[in-house]
Amino acid sequence: MLAPSLLSADLADLKGAVKLVEENGGSVIHIDVMDGRFVPQISYGQPVVQCLRPLTKLPFDVHLMVEHPEEQADTFAAAGADWITFHHEACIHSHRLIQHIHDLGKKAGISIVPSTPVSAVSELLEYVDLVLVMTVNPGFGGQKLIPSCVRKISELTKLREERSLKFLVSVDGGVNASTLNDVVSAGADIVVSGSAFFNGSMKWENT
């Protein structure tokens, strides 16, 4: 599944960006939320998600790149998020937050940065709906994929099979025409693409 990231869209025309995603094979809309603390940049918040929600039936994966994500889950759920993905590194009680997201009627995702091993979230895999592997350091679009991170995708798919689990594996960061095959071959179920999608350099056939 393709999940274009609105971080790389024309922010002056997010309505047009949503339409572009629908017309070009997008299955999920990835919305990066940044607080200027967990990552250097500040992006958009709940009012933007709320304004975009009536424009499409595609699911929203709201990626919380913020400190204290447990304080944001309720309002993003109310704004229209379908999946709420937070960083394991930003949350002490990850299992509690996963439960809370499920109680809100939403799917729960957990993300790991390049320096975090898969083993750090091993005990959470049976509870989450999605694991997001960051293949760049989060905070900026247009970065180059860190090749060593790709093996985490394979590790996760192996653990999923060994333990008969059902979570999806998503990959985010530096995915373009030259790196797409690597992450798909490693077993990624969802490919997040920002710059490469919105500049038209990566074509996609949704199968």
Q: What is the largest CA-CA distance in the chain?
A: 46
Q: Would you call 32 a catalytic residue per the annotation?
A: yes
Alpha carbon distances (Å) from 154 to 34, 50, 110, 127? 28, 35, 17, 19
Q: Is 63 annotated in some ligand binding site?
A: yes
User: Measured between alpha carbons, how far is 192 from 149 in angstroms, rounded to an integer?
Assistant: 15
Q: Is 80 annotated in some ligand binding site?
A: no
Q: Is 140 annotated in some ligand binding site?
A: yes
Q: Is 111 annotated in some ligand binding site?
A: no
Q: Is 164 annotated in some ligand binding site?
A: no
Catalytic hit among 10, 13, 32, 82: 32
Catalytic hit among 35, 61, 129, 172: 172
Q: Is 172 annotated in some ligand binding site?
A: yes
Q: Would you call 129 a catalytic residue per the annotation?
A: no
Do 52 and 84 contact (CB within 8 A), yes or no? no
Alpha carbon distances (Å) from 176 to 62, 164, 189, 192, 201? 21, 31, 16, 10, 7
Q: Is 30 annotated in some ligand binding site?
A: yes
Tokens 């994500």 belong to which residue?
A: 69
Q: Is 5 annotated in some ligand binding site?
A: yes
Q: Which residues are annotated as a binding site for substrate?
A: 5, 63, 139-142, 172-174, 194-195
The residues annotated as belonging to the active site are: 32, 172
Annotated binding site for a divalent metal cation: 30, 32, 63, 172
- Which residues are annotated binding-site positions? 5, 30, 32, 63, 139-142, 172-174, 194-195
